Amino acid sequence: MRVNLPFADCDLAELHMADSIQPFGAMLVLDDQDVVVALSTNVDAYLVTTAQSLLGTDARTSLPPGIDLAAVRAEAPVSTGNEAVRLHLRTVSVAHRSLSLAAHARGSHLVLEFADPGAGDASLNSAANVVQRLTDRLEEAEEPADVAVVLMNTVADLTGFDRTMLYRFLPEWHGEVLDERLAEGLEGFRGRRFPAGDIPENARRLYRLKRQRIIADARATPVPVVGVQNGMTLDLTGSELRAVHPVHLEYLANMGVVASFSVSIVTRGQLWGMIACHHRSPRVLEFVTRQACEMAATIASLHIANLERASHLRELDRLRADLARIWSEAERNGRIDIRAVMPHLRSAFQADGAVACRDGVRHTDGAVPTPATLERLHAVCTRESGNAVHSWSRVPTELIDDPEAARIASGLLYLPLGRDASLTLLRHEQVESVEWAGRPPDDGTVEPRREPRTSFAVWREATRGHANPWSAAALEAAGSVRNHLVDERARAVLELRASTDELTGLANRATFLKVVRERLADALRSDVVLLLVDLDGFKQINDTYGHVTGDRLLERVGERLLHVTRDADVTARLGGDEFAIVMHRVASVQALSAAAARIVASLGAPYHVGDQTLTVSASVGGAFALADDSSDTLVQRADGALYDAKDAGRNRFVIATEVDAPRDHGDPDTETQTSDDR
């Protein structure tokens, strides 16, 4: 009645659901009622009682008297799911023989593992001294890699293995040997990389949960674990003795390794790296030494996390300061112009190029790909990002066929800014010469591994399509940039709605009055000029054809007014069929008359609205600001000129001049002839 099922292919196997253990110890598994529900078949070698006599019994009465089960259960740490496994260690006496007991609870099971204690108290004192030396050395380590090297040397001192390597996981889960300690005559791997498939995801998960792992003899025959029920499932995530997948055993044999030991470096719940130890002959480490290595790794991991956090905060502070300066300078001119801030954002994020898109218009800065490649990049980003910041440091497989994408956009940081708007920062490809420990599989290999690699000889490769990765600080700051630009765009939309006429898109009455006041305050009074426009006969069109047609006509009027005025002029709809143009620096009454004549002529031409051809005329009144004019008096004088135009027969303009000066009357047939005076 063996527990669990035989292992599947290595990459797919549930490695924690082993059906056997390594033979350098024995295992008992109790349920929550202290019934022995599973055990290793070699239990008699340690507990002086047969497996058959223990299985299914109440452990409180069937275990040897030297095991205080109540105390063990009270002290055994409990873990479930993705929680890291911790152990309770104690020495027990069975038939005058000292044994080390490691206990932990996983789900509803209490797992007890027995082994020979090794050097006992001497080993404990030695481990404590080594860990103390570790903490002393950490004070001198300034970089995370320096801390990991101190840990590597500590583990090497504790374990005495032939090869001890510091293995650092890279962003795509390949690994690199940063440093190592070797026995004489043993091949080293310093500086070489191992492909991600050598430690697949299912193994990495276990390394994250079970922080140290011993394989005492890769050639030894595993011991079956049997249960009270056929097909019983047993989670051995936290087991010290859990058996090893055959593919990994072959992998070790191909490296010339008989025993191995590993200690995980885990920071903020993520696997940072590991200390990997190899030995050319069987080697058992007692429980206490393994636990000392795990404790040392925990201390080092915390130190690495603190150093990385400090580095993250320094970079984040720099980015925040850069962004604060960028926003401050940009907002001096009122609204943020994305084109103006792009070079500064590119510099802050150490990007080689930038692309901003809004309402179908694209702006670029620095080195960017061709428009066709940009379209492909944008399609990938909009599909993958949703409404969040999206990044990559390796060009996606679907774009690897595009030389422009690989060369210029191997690194990408995409910030969606709302509908039809985005900001994209780009980093160039960084070609790197890499030494692999054996030839890695081709990209895209997805078949489960049934056989291990056989060669670890150096394989040199120039990696392409990679860029310097975006740091966590850059990604966090990018989120801040996105929020700022989204908020700015929302403010701009609200300001636009508050300042424009909803029907025509021209400035509204409030904006018109604000502009008049501002220009009277900021400019020479004689530079401010006002034209008021009123349509003649618009009410009749509204009454005859309806308000929908009338609205379309007003939209056309707004378009024509924009066409015949200058970019610097502010054109507004005051309400109904009344419009206004605020102008400045008009040279003379004659120039203003020419402008007014063009307006009268333009607005008097026929309009095609739907199936209708409509005609209206316009009356225009204009005025130059006087030295003592307020916005109210200037509007009143222009309004007076407008009524004079209406009284004179409409379809014409009147320009108010200085007090007591004659007014300039005109109709478009005569005044358009002086348009060159404008």
What is the per-residue pLDDT across 417-470, written as a single tens digit (0 to 9) for each? Answer: 988 899 999 999 998 888 888 777 765 444 455 567 777 878 888 788 899 999
Closest C-alpha among 107, 90, 93, 86 to residue 37 = 107
Question: Which residue's entry shows tokens 């390796």?
Answer: 394
Residue-wise pLDDT for 120-146, tens only, equals 444 556 667 777 888 888 888 999 999
Distance, in Å, from the CA atom of 431 to the CA atom of 429, rounded to the nearest integer, reads: 6
pLDDT at 60 over 90: yes
Give all strands (DSSP E) within 95-162, no chain letters. Answer: 97-106, 109-115
Residue 72 three-state SS: helix
List alpha helices for 111-143, DSSP H: 121-138
Residue 309: both structure tokens together: 């956090």
Residue-wise pLDDT for 244-273, tens only, equals 999 999 999 999 999 999 999 999 999 999
User: Which phi and psi (to 5°) does residue 48 adopt?
Assistant: 55, 40
Q: Which pLDDT belongs to residue 446?
A: 41
Confidence band of 664 (pLDDT split at 50, 70, 90): very low
pLDDT at 302 over 60: yes
Find the angle CA(632)-CA(636)-CA(642) to the nearest 5 degrees: 145
pLDDT at 316 over 80: yes
What lies within 8 Å, CB to CB, of 185 at 6+ separation is: none
Distance, in Å, from the CA atom of 253 to the CA atom of 220, rounded to the nearest integer, reads: 12
Closest C-alpha among 38, 9, 31, 13 to residue 241 = 38
pLDDT at 665 over 80: no
Per the document, the length of the chain is: 678
Percent of the chain with pLDDT over 70: 93
Which DSSP state fits 487? H
Q: Which pLDDT belongs to residue 669?
A: 44
User: For the purposes of burial, counting CB atoms within 10 Å of the CB of 132, is it exposed (0-12), middle (13-18) or buried (19 or more)?
Assistant: exposed
Percent of the chain with pLDDT over 90: 69
User: Which phi and psi (to 5°) does residue 596 adopt?
Assistant: -65, -40
CATH architecture of 500-677: 2-Layer Sandwich (3.30)
Q: Which pLDDT belongs to residue 678?
A: 28
**DSSP bridge partners of 193:** 176, 436
Distance, in Å, from the CA atom of 178 to the CA atom of 78, rounded to the nearest integer, reads: 35
Least confident of 358-362, 458-462, 612-616: 458-462
Q: Which pLDDT belongs to residue 676?
A: 30
| Fold exhibited by the domain 334-429+470-492 | Beta-Lactamase (3.30.450)
Q: Hey, how many other C-beta atoms are within 10 angstroms of the C-beta on 197?
A: 17
Residue 595 three-state SS: helix
Distance, in Å, from the CA atom of 505 to the CA atom of 259, rounded to the nearest integer, reads: 78
Q: Hey, how many other C-beta atoms are within 10 angstroms of the C-beta on 426?
A: 26
Q: Hey, how many other C-beta atoms are within 10 angstroms of the C-beta on 389?
A: 22
Q: Are strands 223-227 and 20-21 parallel, antiparallel or unpaired?
A: antiparallel
Helices (H) and strands (E) in the chain, counts: 19, 29
Q: Which pLDDT belongs to residue 488?
A: 83
Residue-wise pLDDT for 473-518, tens only, equals 999 999 999 999 888 877 777 777 888 998 999 999 999 999 999 8
Distance, in Å, from the CA atom of 214 to the CA atom of 287, rounded to the nearest integer, reads: 10
Q: Which pLDDT belongs to residue 442?
A: 63
Residue 86 three-state SS: coil
DSSP element (H, E) containing 554: helix 547-564
Dihedral angle of Cα 94, 97, 99, 105, to the nearest 10 degrees: 0
Residue 145: both structure tokens together: 């890699």
Question: Do the domains spanning 1-332+431-463 and 500-677 agree at the CATH topology level?
Answer: no
Confirm if 401 and 433 have CB atoms less than 8 A apart. no
Give all strands (DSSP E) within 409-457, no chain letters. Answer: 411-416, 421-427, 432-437
Q: Long-range contacts made by residues 139-143, C-beta under 8 angstroms, separation at least 24?
A: 141/303, 141/307, 142/307, 143/307
Distances (CA, A) of 165 to 151, 153, 188, 402: 10, 9, 9, 39
Q: Which pLDDT belongs to residue 617?
A: 96
Q: Are strands 421-427 and 432-437 parallel, antiparallel or unpaired?
A: unpaired
User: For the purposes of burial, counting CB atoms within 10 Å of the CB of 450, is it exposed (0-12), middle (13-18) or buried (19 or more)?
Assistant: exposed
Distance, in Å, from the CA atom of 632 to the CA atom of 651, rounded to the nearest integer, reads: 25
Residue-wise pLDDT for 559-594, tens only, equals 999 999 998 899 999 999 999 999 988 888 999 999
pLDDT at 528 over 70: yes
Give the mean pLDDT of 190-211.
Answer: 94
Q: 256 — alpha (psi -120 to 50), left (phi > 0) or beta? A: left
Instruction: Find how far residue 437's CA is from the centre of its chain.
Output: 31
Distance, in Å, from the CA atom of 530 to the CA atom of 654, rounded to the nearest integer, reads: 12
User: Which phi and psi (to 5°) does residue 656 adopt?
Assistant: -75, 135
Least confident of 193-202, 304-313, 522-531: 522-531
Q: Which pLDDT belongs to residue 125?
A: 65
Confirm if 607 and 556 have CB atoms less than 8 A apart. yes
What lies within 8 Å, CB to CB, of 302 at 6+ separation is: none
pLDDT at 673 over 50: no
Residue 19: both structure tokens together: 């059906």
Q: Are strands 163-169 and 109-115 parallel, antiparallel or unpaired?
A: unpaired
Domain ranges of the chain: 1-332+431-463, 334-429+470-492, 500-677
Distance, in Å, from the CA atom of 486 to the CA atom of 421, rounded to the nearest integer, reads: 9
C-alpha distance across the termini of the chain, in Å: 103
DSSP symbols for 368-412: ---HHHHHHHHHHHHHHHTTS-EEESB--GGGTT-HHHHHH-SEE
Residue-wise pLDDT for 223-251, tens only, equals 999 999 887 999 999 999 999 999 999 99
Q: Hey, how many other C-beta atoms are within 10 angstroms of the C-beta on 9?
A: 14
Distance, in Å, from the CA atom of 413 to the CA atom of 104, rounded to the nearest integer, reads: 45
Least confident of 19-28, 288-297, 417-426, 435-444: 435-444
Q: Are strands 175-182 and 163-169 parallel, antiparallel or unpaired?
A: antiparallel
Question: Which residue's entry shows tokens 């990049």?
Answer: 377
Distance, in Å, from the CA atom of 300 to the CA atom of 131, rounded to the nearest integer, reads: 10
For residues 193 and 230, which has the higher predicted lDDT (pLDDT)?
A: 193
Distance, in Å, from the CA atom of 634 to the CA atom of 643, rounded to the nearest integer, reads: 14
User: Which phi and psi (to 5°) does residue 235 adopt?
Assistant: -85, 110
Per CATH, the homologous superfamily of domain 1-332+431-463 is GAF domain (3.30.450.40)
Least confident of 50-54, 412-416, 627-631, 666-670: 666-670
DSSP element (H, E) containing 353: strand 353-358
Q: Which pLDDT belongs to residue 449?
A: 54
| Amino acid symbol at 541 | I
Q: Which pLDDT belongs to residue 574?
A: 95
